[in-house]
Structure 1
Amino acid sequence: MIFVTVGTHEQPFNRLIKKIDELKRDELFGDDVVIQTGYSDYKPNNCEHSKFFGHDEMQQLVKDARIVITHGGPSSFIMPLQVQKVPIVVPRLKAFNEHVNNHQLDFARQVATRQKNILVVENIDNLGPTIHNYESEISKLNGSLESNNSRFNKSLQNMVDDLF
């Protein structure tokens, strides 16, 4: 299953939802697709969808998904990282009236460069190939999927163990 989330921002993200719906229609992949559409007004014809999901349901969808595709909001792409999944991040862009500026693009680029644990799709036409080549694309990344909290806890545990 592929899970797509556009978050809770009030501007539509029709560009992403429509592209996913077209890719599913054209049978680029065999996976079922579930989309959280938020305030978008494009209604998918080829994918299961809901405006919003509760937090527990979102977490379960992320855990069950083979691929998670998100907008560039940090909490949306951190959720898959917490369950050791590399998300495909499609930032909302000002040029398409999807956000007030391009901060999602700027932030996603920084994370991709520094952490090397997300796949950023800047041109929506590259989304199909990124999904199709997902496994080989993530194998090229060398970033850690371990959270800072986990590293801190391990470090703290080592310090405590050394004291005794």
Structure 2
Amino acid sequence: MGIVEKDFVGWRMNSSNFDSNLNKVKSAIILIENKLMVKLPIEFNDYLTLTNDEAIAPIRKKEYCLAKYAQGVRSVRTSVLFPSEQVIEYTKLSQESIYDERYLLPTGLIVIGSNYDGDSDSCIIYDVRPNSPTYLHVFNWRYYVDNVVVSEGLGLLAHSLKAFLSTPTAIDAL
């Protein structure tokens, strides 16, 4: 089952009636796919359609989730899920490392939002590589310190974007 309106119950957005400009959304999907050389999964297309390709943020006081790393879990505060323009911009920036001996974000992992992990900002990464064992998974990436390795530098947030939309909660509920 794809992403539906009720999946956004814990999120704030500019429009609450889920009216979409389908031409705008189709153009955004094509632009992301062409600029990032990926094929977006249906659930991400559903997300863009239902948000009308606009940024969304968790409801205040219910912004926290857990990122699972090999060495344990880390609480993160979700800031925002991006519209298409920022998905492209942040993904492109993350593919261009300015640090020596650092892994770049590979094609097929896209930046869809921003978290704060207690130390610094981190990226919300979405795996859109159809042949990947982590296809559709959503991760936390502490780009300032971690290499792009699942469970080492990529902390699992959810097994799908749909599942991730239901994860933010109050800090004391973690």
What TM bracket, shorter-length normalisation? 0.3 to 0.5
Of structures 1 and 2, the one with the larger relative CO (CA 8 A, separation 6+) is 2
TM-score (structure 1 length as normaliser): 0.33
Q: By percentage of residues, which structure has more strand?
A: 2
- Give TM-score, length-normalised by structure 2: 0.32
Bigger radius of gyration, 1 or 2?
A: 1
